[in-house]
């Protein structure tokens, strides 16, 4: 166990869903593990903005590593949810064919699903499709039903994984941008941009969009991660167009198409687009794409209305080639590359944790199970899930439960305080942890209240409060 030095058995670069799963998996063993990220909080990279779907295992041939990890990962979610208490539901997936020629693609997806061993996959008639999802366009011709598909809140998944990893001894270093690395003897010395340094016997490069740059820092393989943008629109939870299942169109050669997703927390997402961009930080959304997304989503669910849109956002897929690149570096010692993890990376991530653990073991890392490993994290209370009677009882002991900070998503002051005390001190960190600012008013009512709570709990001044770290101060031009 850790002796207070800055020397670790394993350093994982990148606290997205891959790094977090790897860290948690390694936390079951008697190892000193550190998880570093350049951002001020975990899950601030690709893992914060995606469709949140636990995929069904039928989109890719199992000749690809990503398909095999997707199938294995998807099966691990029930157990993870029991242990980690994050929002997840196996609501099922329908793929809707609206043109005669799409039925051939449906048949191919079905055959691929059967070949991949997808449980319960079914080719459906028009009637069966409308029975499964009554909000579908009545002109649907048929489609596919995959009962094992699901939905998950991606950032809450990462937060829970990290909480569990920390509980079992993993150290987290945020604001640690890996900038230089040298190998001397049996270990790597890794330097951050701010001058901090750590040493580690093994390194895992799980740096998402920046895995190519981190590989270069270690003098390892040269490759280029190309960002592919996906824009989304979020519909209010009051929309009448919320389906019960995730609704997919027939996929294209570059993406799974524009979807209608009933999020696990009750809103609806439509999107994502698929557009290659040059800038790894380009998260802009555009009116043009909104029109495109709306018209495509309405083809599947005609009752979707522009008036239900409450916000837009974008995510960037870290694309590399046809498959995930997960392997020991062939160029430098003791470095695992976890790169090109685009969709279905969220679904596959628990299996990626297993896979990387096995690679490290083969590379000589000694794995001795920890006798006191505890896979469970405590259950969190959410006022929105409680009856008024239960809230009264809680408020008798802690009046902060009776103070509703976010009215749209029903988040109490007690929950905001809990988020801050868990280390989430930016507005986005609190948003992802509690859902405050995610509702109809998008923070119009609660942002200033949250700022005041952060200031009170942390001692930070108003100039220091940021949306997501760095230069994103909220009130910098206020005076
Ligand atoms: C639009 C879109 C939709 C998607 N939908 C789905 C879906 O529905 N289902 C699904 O299964 N998958 C989906 N995916 C894929 C999934 O989101 C990704 O595969 C997954 O989030 C990748 O996680 P990661 O941990 O590899 O990367 P990230 O989450 O980006 O984590 C990498 C981390 O590395 C850090 N980092 C980078 N450089 C450095 C450095 N130099 N030093 C320290 N830290 C560094 C970053 O800050 C970041 O936090 C989607 C992706 C997108 C973009």
pLDDT digits (tens, 9 = 90+) for 19-48: 999 999 999 999 999 999 999 999 999 999
pLDDT recorded at residue 256: 85
For the cut 90, the answer to whether the pLDDT of residue 252 exceeds it is: no
pLDDT grade, residue 127 (50/70/90)? very high
Is residue 196 within 8 A of residue 173, CB to CB? The reply is yes
CB of 46 closer than 6 angstroms to any ligand 1 atom: yes
- Across the range 189-217, mean pLDDT stands at 98
Q: Kindly give the residue spans of alpha helices, DSSP state H, lying in 171-286.
A: 211-217
pLDDT grade, residue 474 (50/70/90)? confident
For the cut 70, the answer to whether the pLDDT of residue 424 exceeds it is: yes
pLDDT recorded at residue 447: 95
Question: Is the same domain home to 208 and 237?
Answer: no
- If you average pLDDT over each of 3-17, 28-42, 439-453, which comes out highest? 28-42
Interacting residues of 326 by C-beta distance below 8 A, sequence separation 6+: 65, 336, 337, 338, 339, 352, 355, 356, 359
Measured N-to-C along each axis, helices 154-167 and 427-434 cross at an angle, to the nearest 10 degrees, of 90
Q: Whose CA is closest to 122, among 150, 100, 94? A: 94
For the cut 90, the answer to whether the pLDDT of residue 245 exceeds it is: yes
| Domain CATH for 335 | 3.50.50.60
Q: Whose CA is nearest to atom 27 of ligand 1?
A: 208
Question: Is the same domain home to 309 and 233?
Answer: yes
Place of tokens 């199938």: 71
Q: Is residue 70 part of a domain?
A: no
**Distance, C-alpha 195 to centroid of its chain:** 29
- Across the range 459-478, mean pLDDT stands at 88
pLDDT grade, residue 244 (50/70/90)? very high
| Domain CATH for 105 | 3.30.9.10
Question: Is the same domain home to 121 and 238?
Answer: yes
Give the position, in ligand 1's atom list, of the atom nearest the Cα of 316.
Answer: 53
Active-site annotation holder among 55, 59, 60, 424:
55
For the chain, give the mean pLDDT. Answer: 95
Would you give the DSSP letter of residue 383? G
For the cut 90, the answer to whether the pLDDT of residue 239 exceeds it is: yes
Question: Is the same domain home to 312 and 342?
Answer: no
User: Could you tell me what percent of the chain has a pLDDT over 90?
Assistant: 94
CA of 390 to the centre of ligand 1 (A): 38
Question: Is the same domain home to 230 and 310?
Answer: yes
Is residue 145 within 8 A of residue 94, CB to CB? The reply is yes
Is residue 215 within 8 A of residue 205, CB to CB? The reply is yes
Rg, the chain, Cα only:
22
CA–CA separation, 289 vs 442, rounded Å?
21
Q: Is residue 76 part of a domain?
A: no
pLDDT digits (tens, 9 = 90+) for 71-92: 999 999 999 999 999 999 999 9
Q: Is residue 453 part of a domain?
A: yes
Q: Which helix (H) or strand (E) holds 126?
A: helix 126-132
Question: Is the same domain home to 218 and 234?
Answer: no
| Domain CATH for 457 | 1.10.10.1100
Question: Is the same domain home to 273 and 231?
Answer: yes
Overall domain count for the chain? 3
- Across the range 369-376, mean pLDDT stands at 98
CA of 16 to the centre of ligand 1 (A): 6
pLDDT recorded at residue 20: 98
Q: Tell me, yes or no, if 55 is annotated catalytic.
A: yes
Question: Is the same domain home to 307 and 342?
Answer: no
pLDDT recorded at residue 69: 98
For the cut 60, the answer to whether the pLDDT of residue 2 exceeds it is: no
Question: Is the same domain home to 216 and 231?
Answer: no
Question: Is the same domain home to 144 and 191?
Answer: no
Interacting residues of 224 by C-beta distance below 8 A, sequence separation 6+: 212, 320
pLDDT recorded at residue 4: 53
For the cut 70, the answer to whether the pLDDT of residue 478 exceeds it is: no
CA–CA separation, 153 vs 207, rounded Å?
21
Within the chain, how many helices (H) and strands (E) appear? 13, 22
Question: Is the same domain home to 241 and 303?
Answer: yes
Q: Whose CA is closest to 300, among 341, 340, 261? A: 261
Q: Which domain holds residue 252?
A: 89-151+226-318
pLDDT grade, residue 3 (50/70/90)? very low
Q: Whose CA is closest to 35, among 186, 181, 239, 173? A: 173
pLDDT recorded at residue 477: 64
Q: Is residue 20 part of a domain?
A: yes
Interacting residues of 400 by C-beta distance below 8 A, sequence separation 6+: 412, 413, 414, 417
Is residue 10 within 8 A of residue 187, CB to CB? The reply is no
CB of 356 closer than 6 angstroms to any ligand 1 atom: no
Q: Is residue 56 part of a domain?
A: no
Question: Is the same domain home to 190 and 308?
Answer: no
pLDDT grade, residue 255 (50/70/90)? confident
Q: Is residue 29 part of a domain?
A: yes
CB of 53 closer than 6 angstroms to any ligand 1 atom: yes
pLDDT grade, residue 1 (50/70/90)? very low
Q: What pTM value is reported for the model?
A: 0.97
CB of 55 closer than 6 angstroms to any ligand 1 atom: yes
């Amino acid at each position: 166990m850790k002796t207070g030095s800055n020397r670790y058995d394993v350093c994982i670069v990148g606290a997205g869903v891959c790094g977090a799963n790897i860290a948690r998996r390694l936390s079951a063993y008697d190892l000193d593990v550190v998880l570093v990220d350049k951002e001020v909080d975990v899950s601030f990279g690709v893992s914060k903005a995606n469709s949140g779907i636990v995929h069904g295992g039928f989109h890719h041939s199992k000749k690809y590593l990503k398909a095999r990890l997707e199938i294995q990962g998807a099966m691990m979610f029930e157990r993870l949810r029991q242990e980690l208490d994050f929002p997840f539901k196996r609501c099922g997936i329908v793929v809707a064919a609206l043109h005669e020629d799409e039925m051939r693609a449906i048949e191919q997806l079905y055959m691929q699903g059967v070949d991949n061993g997808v449980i319960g996959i079914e080719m459906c008639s028009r009637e069966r499709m409308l029975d499964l999802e009554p909000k579908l366009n009545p002109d649907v011709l048929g489609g596919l039903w995959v009962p094992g598909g699901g939905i998950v809140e991606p950032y809450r998944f990462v937060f829970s994984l990290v909480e569990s990893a920390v509980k079992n001894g993993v150290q987290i270093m945020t604001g640690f941008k890996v900038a230089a690395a040298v190998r001397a003897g049996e270990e790597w010395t890794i330097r951050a941009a701010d001058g901090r340094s750590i040493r580690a016997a093994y390194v895992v490069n799980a740096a998402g969009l920046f895995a190519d740059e981190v590989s270069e820092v270690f003098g390892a393989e040269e490759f280029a991660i190309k960002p592919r943008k996906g824009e989304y629109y979020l519909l209010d939870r009051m929309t009448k167009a919320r389906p019960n299942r995730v609704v997919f169109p027939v996929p294209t050669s570059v993406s799974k198409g524009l979807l209608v997703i009933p999020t696990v927390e009750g809103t609806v997402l439509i999107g994502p687009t698929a557009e290659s961009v040059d800038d790894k930080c380009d998260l802009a959304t555009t009116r043009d794409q909104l029109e495109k997304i709306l018209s495509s989503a309405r083809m599947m669910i005609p009752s979707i209305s522009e008036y239900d849109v409450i916000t837009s956002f974008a995510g960037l897929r870290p694309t590399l080639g046809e498959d995930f690149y997960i392997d020991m570096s062939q160029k430098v010692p003791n470095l695992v590359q976890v790169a090109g993890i685009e969709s279905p990376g969220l679904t596959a991530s628990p299996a990626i944790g297993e896979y990387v653990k096995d690679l490290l073991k083969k590379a000589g890392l000694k794995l001795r199970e920890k006798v006191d490993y505890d896979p469970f994290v405590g259950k969190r209370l959410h006022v929105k899930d409680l009856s008024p009677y239960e809230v009264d009882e809680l408020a008798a002991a802690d009046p902060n439960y009776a103070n509703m900070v976010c009215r749209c998503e029903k988040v109490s002051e007690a929950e905001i305080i809990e988020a801050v005390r868990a280390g989430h001190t930016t507005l986005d960190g609190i948003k992802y942890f509690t859902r405050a600012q995610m509702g109809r008013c998008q923070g119009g009512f609660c942002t200033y209240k949250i700022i005041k709570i952060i200031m009170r709990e942390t001692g930070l001044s108003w100039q220091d409060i940021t949306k997501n770290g760095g230069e994103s101060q909220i009130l910098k031009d206020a005076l």
